Structure 1
Amino acid sequence: MLGMVVREEADFSPAPFALNPARNEAVDPSSVYGIVQVRILSGLTGLKIDPWGFLLPLTHLVWAVTVAALLGVLFVLQLFPSCQPGRSLLCSDWSVNAFSPVRVLLQQDVVWPAQWWWWERLVLGLWMLATLVLTKSYAGNLISLLAVRYVPQPFQTLQDIVDNVRVAVIAQKHSTFEQSLREVKYGVFHEIAELEDKGRLNFLTHSELAESLDTLVRAGHHVLVDLDVNHRKRMSLDFSRKGRCDFYRSRESYLPLPCSMVVQKTSPLLHGINKGLMTLFEKGIIRHWTDSEGNHTVCNNVPKKVMITSYISLSNIWGVFAMLGGGLTAGLVVWCAELVVRPSQQH
């Protein structure tokens, strides 16, 4: 439409064009009657079930600190008694000292040797208190994790797209966003532009975007970067057809630009168009037109958390049984190794 005005095939175009210096040189814009901005449109891939979710209540740092604390307690209970005069550390004492903190962590019974010193009992008692808090917190968070699931919305900024090598970007061809990518020399926009050489950035026509929205973006491995007003229309039409929200818009927005109608250069129609636009704007008719699309606000705030009331299936927690099977297999291998090694040692 802009090209038709530039080539003098049309006197003016009422479409809301985002203005930039290049377009201002090609045509004469009317009075500004709105602001548009660029956002990211991504597909909602639904509730992802992680079979290893029972490890999620504790972060990697907490797991590392727990293991380090366990090794520290084992070191104290193992090394200090051997340094005390008049006390020899027998094999039985070593096994008791070594496995008592582990049994506490696994919530099993603990043997209290009579020859233990008071400070050894104090260390083990403090370890019991720490593991009690840790296990209760873990159990409570695990129940919450199974009852409340999060809907992933990972792409909120352009930097999120750059960092995720599994996602590609599609954008409208000959748009203000493409022009900005072609001209920028540094920053996150330049990093997005470099994705074209890596095959992760494609520019499509307006008609091709509709098909890509249903196939590429809905699947979750592509995101669409376009004007927010276009996203709203696409989401409202999709909700009207399917009755559910399959897409979400990013919280971050970019390139806020004024939008207006355009006329040919030095066109005498500009004064009359500006007068009519001002009347429509003051009466609120333009805002009424832009907000008159059905269901355009339904998917504005897609919930990130969903309560689950169904039963827990095997697909949710098969990781627990895999870990149990791995432990039993490892124990069986060690037991077989002991049967093989012990007779040879006796000989």
Structure 2
Amino acid sequence: MPSFFRSHHFCILFLFGMTTVNQILSRESKNKSLTSKRFLKIAAEHWSPFFEITEDSNGNVSYSGIMWTALNFFATAMNFEYEILRPPDGQWGVRNENGEWNGMLGMVKRNEVHFALGPFAVIYEREQACDFTVPIDIDYWAVIVPIQPHQNYWIILRPFGLLLWLSLGLTTLLYTTIVIISDITFFGLRIGHKHIPKIISFTYRNILGEPSEWAPDKFIYQRIFSAVWMLSLIIIAKSYSGTLASLLVVPNIPIPINSVQDLVNQDELPWFIEKGSVLDQLGQMAAPHTTFYKLYDGAKKKRGNIGANCVKKRKEIRKGLFGSVCERTSIDKLISDDFSGTGECKLYVGEINLFATSFAMAFQEGSQLLPETNQWILNIVQKGLYSKWYSESIPNKTSCTGIKAIKSSMAKNDHSQTLNDTFGLFIILFLGLGLSTLAFTIEKRF
């Protein structure tokens, strides 16, 4: 019996000792992990909506965006602290004629930073400078151009097509002729010819919607014929006024540029591409007469330039000064900001994409951080975290999708008529005044 208690007491002491040791080891491990946090230097540059840098009036810098959220997630998951470094030239990175890289990729290549946040469009040339993670996104490049409503000075003629106008004129002439002939037939030439001015006046007063003191109603056939004529004019007049009102409210929006090829083959709208971007890199290497070369060369030669990105140039694009080619994420952000600020869709995205690229983060060649980062990227992509961050950063993304949405947004806003909208009406008015003045002068003189 005593031996049993002794053995039982020993087991309790042993278990208590093991628990205490585990707690001590756990505390030491935790303290060690806190004190052994890695400190990383990370290259990043402003690119809305991925990484946005804001500086207040006191010089305090704050960060936001999709990749900022992702960076903080990685820092917690991989246990590191970091410092953000911006490239001195503000570029993403291209290789110059001497084989040296500039921008953020140059910083990675020279081991000045552990990795660059980006994300970067991955192409073969860039893979020679650094190692990239698995894709965090795959995006398409497309053209974005300003909406430029077509000014039609003769909009008052647009409700009807040419054939309908000719048919209306022919019908009017036919009706007038038939009534005159029938009137002369029944009343004779001596009385019938006196009715001709009245018949013409009745006909054209009805066309203009004016009341008439006289009507060809002496006979039943005349009443039936005139009733059908007047009913037809009512329908035509209502159709004309309704169509004209809709044309004045919803402007005509031609779409002459629907692809990058359309953009480079026209001379009216200049364009720009971002300096140090993948388009800049591919344009420098492109063969003459290719679309890439025309895009790059045209941005240099014309009033456009190789400068800021699409989001930064939103106001210039909206005013019709430039077009551009961007990845659709930047385009979505640009349109979202524009619609949120104005309530209008004044930008059009081409339906034909130029090409697609994978977007990833750039690491030093052979970096030990790369495998772990790849695992966490797959984690956030597969679990939908990246899509959630993306949606939160771009509200109103679908508000301006398609030409129907663009016309609808422009129709909902107050649209004051301008001289251009009614130019044709004033031309007709002044021609009428001129003819009446000429007739008055002739009558007065002779």
Q: Settle same-fold status: TM greater than 0.5.
A: yes
1:106 alignment partner in structure 2 = 208
Is 1:224 equivalent to 2:327 in the alignment? Answer: no
1:324 alignment partner in structure 2 = 429
Residues 137-216 of structure 1 aligned to structure 2 (within 5 Å): 137-142=239-244, 157-158=258-259, 166-177=268-279, 179=282, 182=286, 189=291, 193=295, 196=298, 200=302, 202-206=304-308, 212-214=313-315, 216=316
Superposed CA offset, 1:41-82 (max 9, x none): 45578xx898969727x5351x65134422344156438977
Distance 1:243 1:77 in 2: 53
Distance 1:336 1:117 in 2: 44
Give the length in aligned residue pairs. 326
- Contact kept? 1:50, 1:316, Cα under 8 Å: yes
2:411 alignment partner in structure 1 = 305
Q: Structure 1 residue 140: deviation in Å?
A: 3.8
Q: Which has the higher contact order (CA 8 A, sep 6+)?
A: 1
Shift of the 248–299 alpha-carbon distance from structure 1 to 2, 3 Å rule, reads farther
2:351 alignment partner in structure 1 = 252
Shift of the 51–278 alpha-carbon distance from structure 1 to 2, 3 Å rule, reads closer
Q: Structure 1 residue 35: deviation in Å?
A: 1.5
Shift of the 195–28 alpha-carbon distance from structure 1 to 2, 3 Å rule, reads closer
Shift of the 284–78 alpha-carbon distance from structure 1 to 2, 3 Å rule, reads closer
Q: Identical aligned pairs, as a percentage?
A: 18
Shift of the 153–35 alpha-carbon distance from structure 1 to 2, 3 Å rule, reads farther
The alignment partner of 1:74 has SS state of: helix
The alignment partner of 2:304 has SS state of: strand
CA RMSD of aligned residues (A): 5.1
Instruction: Tell me which amino acid in the other structure corresponds to 2:437.
Output: L
2:118 alignment partner in structure 1 = 15
Distance 2:294 2:219 in 1: 65
Distance 2:421 2:305 in 1: 42
Q: Which of 153, 168, 174 in structure 2 is aligned with 1:69? A: 168
Distance 1:42 1:197 in 2: 14
1:333 alignment partner in structure 2 = 438
Greater shift in the superposed pair: 328-337 or 36-45: 36-45
Instruction: Tell me which amino acid in the other structure corresponds to 1:17.
Output: F
* Contiguous gaps of at least 5 residues in structure 2: 1-91, 95-100, 401-408
Distance 2:411 2:226 in 1: 40
Shift of the 75–105 alpha-carbon distance from structure 1 to 2, 3 Å rule, reads same
**Rg (Cα) greater in structure:** 2
Distance 1:192 1:100 in 2: 64
Distance 1:318 1:72 in 2: 27
* Contiguous gaps of at least 5 residues in structure 1: none
2:374 alignment partner in structure 1 = 274
* TM-score (normalised: structure 1): 0.66
Distance 1:54 1:17 in 2: 48
Distance 1:41 1:291 in 2: 21
Instruction: Tell me which amino acid in the other structure corresponds to 1:297.
Output: P
* TM-score (normalised: structure 2): 0.54
